[in-house]
Amino acid sequence: MVSVTSTTVAALGVAGIAALFAIVYWDARRIEMGRPRLWAAVASGAAAVGLALYLFVPTAPMTGVIMTSNTGLVLYTFEREVSTEEDDPADPGWLPNDSAGGGKTLESTGSSGESSEPSSDAGKERV
C-alpha cells in the first residue's frame, strides 16, 4: 500500500519539477541563452532523478539525493553567469579590479601578485 506522505511528495515534486522547467526556460529565453529548452531539461531532469531516488530507492543517502537534484540547476547557473559576462577584452598591462591602473603594472609585481615596493605598514605589528 502506498502511503499518503509519499503520494504527497510525488505530487509536489512533479509540480515543482514542472515549475523548475518553466522558470529555467523563461529565464534562458529572457537572457538570450542558446538552447533554452535543453537547459530547462537539464535542470528539471536532474531534479526528476533526485525525486525518483528519494521515492524509489529507500537506501539512497539523502546527501546524494540532494546533490543529484541540485546538479542541473548548478550547471545552468554557471552557464548563465558565463553567458551574461561582459565581453571586454583582457588588458594585460593592468591588474584586475584596478580601474585607474593605480600605477601598478604586471612588471612591478612579484610572482605572488604582491607589489615589490615596500609596504607602508612594514614595521607595524599586526594584531
Beta strands in 31-109 (DSSP E): none
Residues of the chain with pLDDT under 50: none
Closest CA to 24 of 72, 71, 66, 85: 72
How confident is the model at residue 44, as a pLDDT? Answer: 95
How do residues 26-62 score in pLDDT, each as one tens digit? 999 999 888 999 999 999 999 999 999 999 998 999 9
**Which pLDDT score is estimated for 99?**
66
